[in-house]
Amino acid sequence: MTEPGGAIACLMVADGDVLVRHALAAYLRSCGYRVIEAANCDEAEAVLDNPALAVELVLCDARLGGHGGGFGLKRTGRERWPDVEIILAGSAATAAEEAADICENGPDLARPYDPQLVSDRINQWRASRDRA
Amino acid sequence: MNDRLRLCVILVGRELGEVSLVRDVVTAEDAGKAAILVVDDEVLIRFVQAETLREAGYAVVEAASGDEAIALLQAGVDADLLITDVRMPGSLDGLALARAARELRPDLVIAVSSAHVASIDGCLDGIVAGFLPKPYLPSQLIAMAERLLEQK
């Protein structure tokens, strides 16, 4: 997926389940995105702290392993990486545990991932960003 | 079944514990390419390694640990060549991964890469086919992959 100006959007998939992470990353690469894979919070932070990688959007398991989990990463992201869209994926049970502190609506995407919904969500983000 | 539907089935199946569904995860774009499984617990090294090999025309699968690599192999993910770091946390370091991977996939070509092991001579005779000392140039990584896959 080529942005105006020719740059390919860079996404990160952060999930502790390697089979889910691999399958989703492979699908997104087939859609034309450049995809970085992270297995836990430490890896995700290392990637996001590297501006050369220019990650624009993160698809993150709400229960990502590591300090703070997916919700913690999103919370941290508001201050450290404000230009990065972090989309959490999880179940209703996960939302009930964490939503009051972070986001009143809970995870943004259901997990297991529906590829069409993932693609739609990314397109929505890009459209709103381009309008801004 | 198109790639999108196939992925949906795979991901739902995984949530239900049906790991065998992951076998068919190869996308149309990767079909026919030699597949390389890269294993490294350093995310930035792993990413650069994987992107270098993708740009060289290979289908690449990434694992952050020996345990993840074995999970991928057990699930039936395509791999013609395994390139693994040696020192990794978890229950399997690179050398243990090489032994376990050889048992799972007797035809898998295995190479190791490390900044800490000067040579693998004498280690894992008959299991490890190549060694790439870190740091290395992207061209060296590609040359090793080409050489090992041609020999297969």
Q: What integer pLDDT is reported at residue B24 of this predicted model? A: 45
C-alpha radius of gyration, chain B, whole number: 15
Q: What integer pLDDT is reported at residue B20 of this predicted model? A: 41
Sequential DSSP letters for B57-115? T-EEEEESSHHHHHHHHHTT---SEEEEESS-SSS--HHHHHHHHHHH-TT-EEEEEES
Residue A115 identity? P
What secondary structure letter does DSSP report for B26? -
Q: Is B64 on the interface with A (CB under 8 A)?
A: yes
User: ipTM of this complex > 0.85?
Assistant: no
Residues of chain B with pLDDT under 50: 1-6, 12-24
pLDDT confidence bin for A9, thresholds 50/70/90: confident
Asked if A105 contacts A99 with a C-beta cutoff of 8 angstroms, the reply is yes
Task: Name which of A15, A20, A21, A22 to mutate to probe chain B: the one with the most chain B Cβ atoms within 10 A of its Cβ.
Answer: A22
How far does B27 lie from chain A, in Å, by closest CA? 7
Asked if A91 contacts A110 with a C-beta cutoff of 8 angstroms, the reply is yes
Please report residues of A whose CB lies closer than 8 A to that of B8.
114-116
Q: What integer pLDDT is reported at residue B19 of this predicted model? A: 42
CA pair distance A83, B147, nearest whole angstrom: 42
Question: Quick one: what percent of chain A has pLDDT higher than 70?
Answer: 81
Q: Could you tell me which residues are beta bridge partners of residue A109?
A: A89
How far does B102 lie from chain A, in Å, by closest CA? 20
pLDDT confidence bin for A74, thresholds 50/70/90: very high
pLDDT, tens only, A79-92 = 999 999 999 988 76
Residue of B nearest to A41 (CA): B43
For all residues of chain B together, what is the average pLDDT?
83
Q: Which residues contact A109 (CB under 8 A, 6 or more apart)?
A: A59, A87, A88, A89, A90, A117, A118, A121
Q: Which residue among B3, B43, B72 places its CB closest to the CB of A22? A: B72
Q: What integer pLDDT is reported at residue A12 of this predicted model? A: 97
What secondary structure letter does DSSP report for A38? E
